[in-house]
Structure formats: structure tokens, C-alpha cells
Amino acid sequence: MSLALRLHLQDPALRAAVIDLPPWPRVEVDDLVDGPPPADTDLVVVLVDALGGSTPDALTAAVDAAARCAPVLLAGPTATVLPHLARRAGVHPGEWTVPHEVRVRVDPGLQPRRDQDLLVPDRVLLVEKVEDGADVLATASVAYRDQPVLVLHREQRLGVTSLGGRPDAWAGPDLWRLLGDLAHLLAHGPDGADVRVGMLGFGAIGHEHARAVAAVPGLVMTAVSDLSPARLAVAREASPQLRTSTDPYALLADDDVDLVVVSTPPDSHAGWARRVLAAGKHVVLEKPMALTAADCDDVLALAAEQDRLAVVYQNRRFDPDYRALARVVRSGRIGEVFHLESFVGGYGHPCSYWHSDAAVSGGAIFDWGSHYLDQVLDLMPGPVRHVTAANHKRQWFDVTNADHARVTLHFEDGREAEFVHSDLAAVAKPKWYVLGTQGAVVGHWRTEKVVGRSPIGTLVEDVLAPADSPATLSVHDADGSVTALAVTPAPAQAFHRELADRLHRGTPMSARAEQSRRVVAVMEAAEASARRHGAPVPLP
């Protein structure tokens, strides 16, 4: 799937936002009047915010030239700058609303795997009329009326969306996914057969994957392999139709499996990923991706060679409190983030499973860092100059993970970020402490209880670990005002819906394997720094 963006923009902030593209299979960006896109383009998106010294006739001629290559979507303010083209697409434009967070409801035929509305910070064009022959593929509610925000006239090979007129609209993934879905629908029509999923290892996280696969259209669980017959019995109870085996190589040889979820201990991730990819199947790895950046590179190279997807289950990208924090940071409300602290832990004995065996898990930095350092690098994606770190072993000598670990990232531009995981923290630091040039965000841990009754009717309180509850977030502005930040529920099965969209439509995922590789590189450098008593270590 390929997307071409043709720009005629006078607003430098909007132009910079559009050109700062997220990872996408194929995107070409050029000025509208510089010539048509490549002949194999699936969708051309035209974004014009003003005539800017050109003429309507010249811009129309450029759009017509683009339309000879692929269907054209007029985005953002283009419909009002070139209203005759919008009317050709069957849309009669009216006035604009004020900017706000637009809740977009998408036709199921365009996005079959998402039952949640999209959220795009933008304006809505109030449409006076949609002519016969034009299909409304997405709407937004304005003053209790559904307003079309994506209209396609298939006969004219021309569409209109009012989204994309503000820089913020391009910062998040939702607008990009909407464009990708439209490009796929135009190029390929409705999605094909389900992707058949196999599970390698069916522990606690296996249940999570199995439930998600069952809930997401386009995916179906067909086989499970685990060394434990008892766990296989549990898998069959949940899905009697599953084929099960204690032989993992039987799963790799199964012609009815297109993708394998590797849910084994971390020290085996890279090896199994190579075997899965060599068998011609897509692979989803539990985190961390591997224990060395070199192993990650091998997996990525083999995935490219085999033309298969390799991706890591970075599920905490979708935590509701993290999503709220990321929205504030990316909105620019607190300015440029230059200092970030992240903490997880408490005072207590580590678990006695492989998570606490450094040879298997990679150590304390790898165990929780796979989640929290991924979030840090997602918020602060700039190049890292070097890493410093420390591991303390002072109390829990029956396990090999550090009792307390600290990782500090030193970025090329001077910014810093710190992650601490501790099993010796009798008092917890905030989950997040984020400083920007115009404000700050603090996220405090919560301790929640589940209250119930015992079999004889007495009170039972189950105290949740702080990491099992979303943090309480507050935004601190430079003038001293403090605002509590709403934390909305996470979208259901978000990762697996993105996975299905990626495999069926080529739509980019929020968490990419290259990002997971970078997390491993940071953690590998941190362990090396800790062994060298905190000496700076560059990323491998």
C-alpha cells in the first residue's frame, strides 16, 4: 500500500507536522505543483491551506494530474480553498467549527476491527449537502447532528475529509490509520481470510493473547504448543477446537498457522523468532525482544529477508494513564520535555519465578525496563548519547536480579531521563515526574482495594499492587495552577487490533520492532554501565 501527500501549504507549522511522518510502508511527500505521484500510488492526499500566489486553475490542473495516477482525497482546508473540487466530490462545504478533539465514527466497512471512535484534534467542516453518488465513510457529532468528515465519490475518484488542517491532527496515529484504511479499501477492497495464530507457550500472558485474538475480527487462534500438558488442557477448555502439542517444532511446521506468538522466557525469544521466521510465519514476541541488540538485528534482518512481520507486544503503550500523559506531552502544553523520571517498585521480596533469574530475564533492568523504558523512549525519541546505570544487591540474596536498579539516559541535545525499579523502596517515588519548558506533569501511584466477602460472610480486602492501577495525573502550569488530568479507559485489544490491521492492510503499528530493538540497546548499555560502576556506555 502506498500513499502520496501533495502539499500546497503556507503555514510552516502545518507543513512541518505533515512532513514529520510516522513510520509507514510507503509515503511520498512533494509539492502539489511539482508533478504527479508515482503510477503505483494507491491514494493521493492533497492538502492546500491557501492559494499562496497560485491560482485555482493551476491547483485544479495539478489535482487532475494526480487523479490520473490514483484516487485523490482533499484534506483539511482544501475543500474551502478549492470548493469547486469539493462539489465535484459531491460535498457542498459550509462553515468551520472551532478547534476541538473531534470524535470520529468510522463506517465498519472501512475499519472492521475498531469499535472505538477515533480522536483527532482538529476542526470539522459543516457540510451543507452531500450529493447522491457520494458515500459518507466517517462522521462526527456537532451540536447533536452527524457531520460528514470523510466522503468518497467513487465514480469521480475524488474524496473530501475536513481532517488534517491542524498540526496536532498529524501528531497522533488515528488520522494516519484512517488514511491507510481508505488507501487499502480503494486498492484491495474488503479484507481477505483470517490470519491464523499459533501460541508458543501458554502461561499467564497466553490467556491474554487468546482472549484478544478471539475478540478481534481478522484473527483466529488455531494451535498452541506448551511443554506442560496441564496448560494445554487449560487452553483446550477455553477453545476446544485448538490443536495442541508439547512439540514446539510441530507448531512451526503447521501449514494452518500464519503467525506465532512467542510467549517463552526472554533468553529464548531471539532463537524462537529466528525459527518462526525461517518457517515463513509472522512472529509476535513477548518483551523484551531479546537480551542483546545484536540478536534483535538478526531477527529484523531475517524478517526483512522473509518479507514477514516481526513485532513485540509492548502492551503498556496502551495503558490509560500513559496514553493521557503522552497526549499532554505531544500537545506541547508543557513545552519541550527536557527531564523525565519514571519509577516502579516498593518494598518486598521479588517473585520467585524466572523474572527474578538474571540469566533468564536479563535482570531487573530488562524485566520492568522493557515496559517503562519503552514509554520513556516513546515520549523522548531523540538520539541517546550514552547511558549510565547502577544495580544494587543488598537484601534478597536468594534471587539473582538486582534489588534496586537505576538507568539514566543522556540524550544528544542535553535532555535526560531516568528509570528506577526497586524492591527496596519503603516509600515510592511518583510513577512519573516530567518537566517541560512551560510546565510539568506528575503521576502518583494509587493503592486500590477489591472488597468482598469470605465464605462465612466476613470482610475480605484484596490490596492491588500499585502497578496494577492507573496513576493519578496532574498538570502543573508555569503560573502555579494545577489541573487534574482525566484518565480514560484504554481501548480494548488495541495491540491485537493494530496487528490485524497491519497484516490485512499494511497499516503501521504504534509500537514497531525497531523501537523495541532500541529499548534492548538501552538496557544492554545500562547493564554494561552498572558492571563498570556507572561509567557512561553508548548504545550498541
Task: Give residues with Cβ within 8 angstroms of 506, minimum separation 6.
Answer: 1, 25, 180, 184
**% of the chain exceeding 70 in pLDDT:** 99
The mean pLDDT of the chain is 92
At 25, the pLDDT band (50, 70, 90 cuts) reads low
Mean local confidence (pLDDT), 333-361: 91
Mean local confidence (pLDDT), 324-330: 92
Least trusted range by pLDDT, from 172-176, 231-235, 366-370, 400-404: 172-176
At 158, the pLDDT band (50, 70, 90 cuts) reads very high
Residue 238: pLDDT over 90: no
Residue 118: pLDDT over 70: yes
What tens digit of pLDDT does each residue of 278-296 get?
999 999 999 999 999 999 9
**Per-residue model confidence (pLDDT) at position 274:** 98
**Per-residue model confidence (pLDDT) at position 354:** 83
Domains of the chain: 3-188 (3.40.50.880), 195-314 (3.40.50.720), 316-531 (3.30.360.10)
Grid coordinates standing for 370? Answer: 522493557
Least trusted range by pLDDT, from 130-139, 245-254, 271-280, 447-456: 447-456
Mean local confidence (pLDDT), 113-128: 88
Burial of 396 (C-beta count, 10 Å sphere; 0-12/13-18/19+): middle
Residue 79: pLDDT over 90: yes
**Per-residue model confidence (pLDDT) at position 505:** 84
**Per-residue model confidence (pLDDT) at position 271:** 97
Residue 361: pLDDT over 70: yes
Higher pLDDT, 77 or 451: 77
Residue 303 · residue 281 · CB < 8 Å: no
Task: Give residues with Cβ within 8 angstroms of 435, minimum separation 6.
Answer: 334, 337, 338, 339, 340
What tens digit of pLDDT does each residue of 362-382 get?
999 999 999 999 999 999 999
pTM: 0.85
3-state DSSP call for residue 16? helix
Strands ordered across the beta sheet of 158-161: 27-31, 3-8, 43-48, 72-75, 158-161, 145-153, 135-142, 100-106, 118-122
**Per-residue model confidence (pLDDT) at position 539:** 93
CA distances from 64 to 29, 46, 52, 157, 336 (A): 17, 11, 19, 10, 41
What tens digit of pLDDT does each residue of 90-110 get?
999 999 999 998 999 999 888
Distance CA 273, CA 262 (A): 7
Per-residue burial over 143-162, b = 16 or more CB atoms within 10 Å of its CB, e = otherwise: eeeebbbbbbbeebebbbbb
Grid coordinates standing for 131? Answer: 450529493
**Per-residue model confidence (pLDDT) at position 173:** 81
Residue 190: pLDDT over 80: no
**Per-residue model confidence (pLDDT) at position 22:** 64
**Per-residue model confidence (pLDDT) at position 192:** 78
Residue 263: pLDDT over 90: yes
**Per-residue model confidence (pLDDT) at position 331:** 86
Grid coordinates standing for 424? Answer: 527496596
